[in-house]
């Protein structure tokens, strides 16, 4: 196998016409199988997603064998030539909107995922968690497919169109929350890009920007419970959680969870 790249969770190799994603030793087989199954489901819905072939074990580590995609991430293209930002942002909007058109009950529930991550967030107080969880309970969730980690670095430009990768965070839920999640990921990367994304997306699809932004404390709070982040990201996420409204009343964490 030919080594291609390494990430926080896995190393990527090329094996002929296939890609092999080998996870670190601490990744459980059940979690690797879950990621593979989510991508299989996305493929079965006709989305431009690498085909999954198998889940394997190599020297005590689990891996996913999938179709090898020859191409360049849109994020890399835009980093090298931002004159193409509008063109590729609009293409990414079309892809994200098409994902949101799919109604499904086969993916994990977004509400459950958000709730579990919020409870796991050690950087916020129990009072803050209770407030966020209370807001989560009052928000509307439907059955639309949401990618959960949608941004231009997860879109690969190939000779056969744009492919969507990294479906581990996919869920069934509210597209508004998924749009805010993308906005947040851009904000953590570069704030002016985030503002361009949200302004353009809302204008093209006639969405209420304030309604999207109302997901701030929920999505940022959940992000804090996902994994270890650097100090800058933690600071920004905590600011989003705490700037929406002062948490003046102490509420039991599990009373409204």
DSSP 185-241: HHHHH-HHHHHHHHHHHHHHTT--HHHHHTTHHHHHHHHHTTS---HHHHHHHHHHH
Instruction: Give me the mean pLDDT over the 187-200 stretch.
Output: 91
Which of 21-30, 46-55, 200-209, 237-246 shows the lowest mean pLDDT across its residues?
237-246
Mean pLDDT along residues 206-211: 95
Helices (H) and strands (E) in the chain, counts: 10, 10
Distance of alpha carbon 25 from alpha carbon 81, whole angstroms:
38
- What is the pLDDT confidence band of residue 246, given thresholds at 50, 70 and 90? very low
Q: Please name each of the domains of the chain with its CATH number.
A: 2-67 (3.30.200.20), 71-243 (3.90.1200.10)
Report the C-alpha gap between 196 and 229 in whole angstroms: 25
CA distance 16 to 107: 31
Identify the band that residue 250 occupies on the pLDDT scale cut at 50, 70 and 90.
very low
Convert the pLDDT of each residue in 67-103 to its tens digit: 999 999 999 999 998 888 899 999 999 999 999 999 9
What was the pLDDT predicted at 247? 39
Burial 153-173 (b: 16+ CB within 10 A, else e): bbbbbeeeebbbbbbbbbbbb
The per-residue pLDDT for range 17-37, each reduced to its tens digit, is: 999 999 988 889 999 999 999
The pLDDT of residue 253: 34
- pLDDT exceeds cutoff 80 at 249: no
Q: Name the pLDDT band for 228 (thresholds 50, 70, 90).
A: low
- Please give the biggest Cα pair distance in the chain: 59
Mean pLDDT, rounded, for 123-142: 93
> What is the average pLDDT score of the chain?
90
Q: What is the pLDDT of residue 136?
A: 96
Confidence (pTM): 0.90
Residue 126 confidence (pLDDT) above 50:
yes
Between 250 and 74, name the one with better pLDDT: 74
Q: Quick one: pLDDT at residue 244?
A: 64
């Amino acid at each position: 196998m030919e080594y291609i790249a390494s990430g926080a969770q896995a190393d990527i190799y090329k094996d002929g016409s296939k890609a092999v994603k080998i996870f670190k030793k601490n990744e459980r087989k059940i979690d690797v199988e879950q990621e593979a199954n989510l991508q299989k489901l996305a493929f079965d819905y006709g989305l431009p997603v690498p085909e999954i072939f198998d889940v394997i074990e190599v020297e005590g580590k689990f891996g996913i064998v999938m179709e090898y995609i020859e191409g360049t991430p849109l994020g890399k293209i835009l980093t090298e030539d931002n004159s193409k930002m509008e063109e590729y942002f609009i293409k990414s909007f079309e892809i994200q909107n098409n994902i949101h058109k799919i109604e499904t009950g086969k993916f994990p529930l977004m509400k459950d995922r958000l709730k579990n991550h919020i409870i796991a967030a050690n950087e916020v107080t129990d009072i803050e968690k209770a407030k966020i969880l209370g807001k989560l309970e009052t928000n509307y969730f439907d059955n639309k497919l949401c990618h959960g980690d949608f941004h231009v670095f997860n879109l690969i430009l190939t000779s056969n169109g744009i492919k969507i990768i990294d479906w581990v965070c996919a869920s069934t839920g509210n597209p508004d929350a998924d749009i805010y999640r993308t906005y947040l990921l851009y904000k953590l990367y570069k704030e002016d890009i985030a503002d361009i994304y949200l302004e353009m997306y809302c204008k093209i699809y006639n969405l209420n920007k304030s309604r999207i932004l109302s997901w701030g404390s929920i999505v940022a709070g959940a992000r804090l419970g996902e994994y270890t982040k650097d100090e800058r990201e933690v600071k920004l996420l905590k600011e989003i959680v705490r700037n929406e409204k002062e948490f003046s009343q102490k509420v039991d964490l599990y009373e409204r969870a």
